Chains A and B, each alone.
Chain A
């Protein structure tokens, strides 16, 4: 099974950028990198995904290393509503492998 490794927790100040790292050294050439986040008492919600090139959307940016063995989710200006568990996931043959995620704490 494809695995991802993330720090257990991170802390950020409100209004500052946050860089959430993810290692996926066993990634295969056809794996897409997905990020989801889970707010307290809710199901996960989609954030962003990519294959090789960096990606941007209204929620975040995804920076993918050239060898694809790591990626970074970037929240440009963290808000209190961004406090959640962020999951880095490899999509492989229609299965999602969720890692343990990073719990992001945002301080006012």
Chain B
């Protein structure tokens, strides 16, 4: 099986612009989660999508949004970019067909976003 893929791998944007990142989960995985990783804050949970619905959300402003399509692919959007949004954005997928408290996530390589 192919792993989780994320596009693009690298992106440079200017303050005030918006950006859309894409994630393709492992075939058969219906849940997609997004994380932000920065040197200062570490790995922080953004949100999770399952069956095209947002199931969980972390503590991020409304500028961060996402969606999931019927084929489980997911996109994440950040509007009005700020310098502090520069980070590695990671996507993770899982089957979500096990017990809710026992799951193994598969991470993609991430998209490195630089805001100038």
A-B contact count (CB 8 A): 53
Secondary structure call for the B interface: strand
Residues of A within 8 Å of B, CB-based: how many?
A: 23
CB distance from A62 to the nearest CB of B (A): 13
Q: Which residues of A contact B108 (CB under 8 A)?
A: 43
Binding site for B on A (CB under 8 A): 30-32, 36, 41-46, 49, 51, 87, 91, 93-101
Residue of chain A at shortest CB distance from B88: A43
Interface contact A32-B102, CB-CB below 8 Å:
yes
Binding site for A on B (CB under 8 A): 4, 33, 35, 42-45, 48, 55-56, 58, 90, 92, 100-110
Can you name 24 A-B residue pairings with CB atoms under 8 Å?
Answer: A31-B101, A32-B101, A32-B102, A36-B105, A41-B109, A42-B109, A43-B90, A43-B109, A44-B43, A44-B105, A44-B107, A45-B107, A46-B105, A46-B106, A49-B102, A87-B43, A91-B101, A91-B103, A94-B55, A94-B56, A95-B56, A97-B45, A98-B43, A99-B42
